[in-house]
């Protein structure tokens, strides 16, 4: 029987069939480590937003199905709770970074039906972090990116007072020029979708795992741009491994800012004016190209 005041240990027991013997404390919404009675440590995460757990589980399984990047195994879930294996972490390593870049290239190459496609079994209305993210499909990247990954968050930021109404026009001008700024056409890639450094786990076994996806079909440069936005250890090795496996189209460095608009605007909606200033700077830089 599920109750609203169920704690992580109780949820782990119900979803795995194993008795918990110890559970760490954590912030609301953050994963909590639970030790099961067979000695297995697991991570237990609660999400109350409708569809959030289903979206994350579907995303993890879609990434795993590509046979490229590694993700923690999902050991059990329902509409509110998710239990995954715990990854023992170590120090970032250049060789692991190179392999990660190669694996990320293979993940992207595994593809998606369309831009905006949700993972199989995943909801159309999903999340990136705590922000809603709609997986509406499109066949043209620039139009889809403007309509579903830039302008919704511009409108949300204006509604919250984080962006001034006049500033929205800067992003609208970028969107109008996206067909010329986007570079050569690319097929839809299978994206992690929220690939900042905090979602990259450097395993003690020398292999990288990815967690907390906002997986969808998108442009492969978006994942790479997000890694660069928030910093990633040995990023030069990650990019070298990627480019060895799947060369990027000419001009990709000049397009980084265009792809960073999505995560910057999400952060503007969630965390305030500081990110709005950064997003505006990036947008103006794109217009100056």
Tell me the C-alpha distance between 181 and 258, whole Å.
8
Tokens of 160: 């919250």
**Domain co-membership, 66 together with 98:** no
Q: Which of 91, 140, 194, 236 is catalytic?
A: 194
**Domain co-membership, 154 together with 214:** yes
Query: With left for phi above 0 and alpha for psi between -120 and 50, is residue 39 left, alpha or beta?
Result: left
Tokens of 214: 């906002």
User: Looking at the domain assignment, is residue 208 inside a domain?
Assistant: yes
**Domain co-membership, 14 together with 107:** no
Q: Which domain holds residue 28?
A: 8-85
CB distance 48 to 80 below 8 Å: yes
Where do we find the tokens 């200033």? Answer: 277
**Domain co-membership, 140 together with 221:** yes
User: Looking at the domain assignment, is residue 1 inside a domain?
Assistant: no
- Written as tens digits, the pLDDT of the chain (289 aa) is 444 578 999 999 999 999 998 776 655 568 999 999 999 999 999 998 999 999 999 999 999 999 999 999 999 999 999 999 999 999 999 999 999 999 999 999 999 999 999 999 999 999 999 999 999 999 999 999 999 999 999 999 999 999 999 999 999 999 999 999 999 999 999 999 999 999 999 999 999 999 999 999 999 999 999 999 988 999 999 999 999 999 999 999 999 999 999 999 999 999 999 999 999 999 999 998 7
Here the CATH number for the domain that contains residue 176 is 3.90.1200.10
CB distance 205 to 181 below 8 Å: no
- Annotated catalytic residue 236: no
User: Looking at the domain assignment, is residue 203 inside a domain?
Assistant: yes
């Amino acid at each position: 029987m599920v109750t609203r005041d169920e704690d992580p240990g109780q949820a782990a027991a119900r979803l795995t069939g194993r008795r918990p013997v110890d559970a760490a404390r954590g912030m609301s919404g953050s994963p909590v480590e639970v030790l099961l009675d067979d000695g297995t440590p697991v991570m237990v995460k609660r999400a109350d937003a409708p569809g959030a757990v289903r979206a994350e589980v579907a995303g993890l399984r879609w990434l795993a199905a590509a046979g490229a990047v590694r993700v923690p195994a999902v050991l059990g879930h329902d509409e509110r709770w998710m239990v995954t294996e715990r990854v023992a972490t170590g120090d970032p390593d250049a060789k692991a970074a190179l392999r990660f870049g190669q694996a990320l290239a293979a993940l992207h190459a595994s593809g998606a039906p369309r831009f905006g496609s949700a993972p199989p079994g995943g909801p159309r209305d999903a999340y990136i972090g705590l922000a809603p993210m709609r997986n509406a499909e499109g066949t043209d990247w620039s139009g889809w990116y403007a309509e579903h990954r830039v302008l919704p968050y511009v409108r949300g930021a204006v509604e919250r007072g984080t962006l001034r109404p006049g500033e929205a026009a800067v992003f609208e001008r970028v969107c109008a020029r996206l067909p010329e700024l986007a570079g050569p056409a690319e097929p839809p890639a299978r994206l992690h979708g929220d690939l900042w450094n905090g979602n990259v786990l450097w395993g003690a076994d020398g292999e990288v795992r990815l967690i907390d996806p906002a997986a969808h079909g998108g442009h492969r440069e978006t994942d790479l741009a997000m890694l660069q936005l928030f910093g990633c250890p040995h990023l030069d090795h990650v990019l070298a491994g990627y480019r060895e496996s799947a060369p990027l189209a000419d001009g990709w460095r000049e397009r980084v800012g265009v792809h960073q608009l999505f995560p910057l605007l999400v952060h503007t909606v969630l965390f305030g004016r500081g990110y709005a200033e950064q997003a505006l700077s990036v947008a103006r830089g794109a217009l100056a190209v």
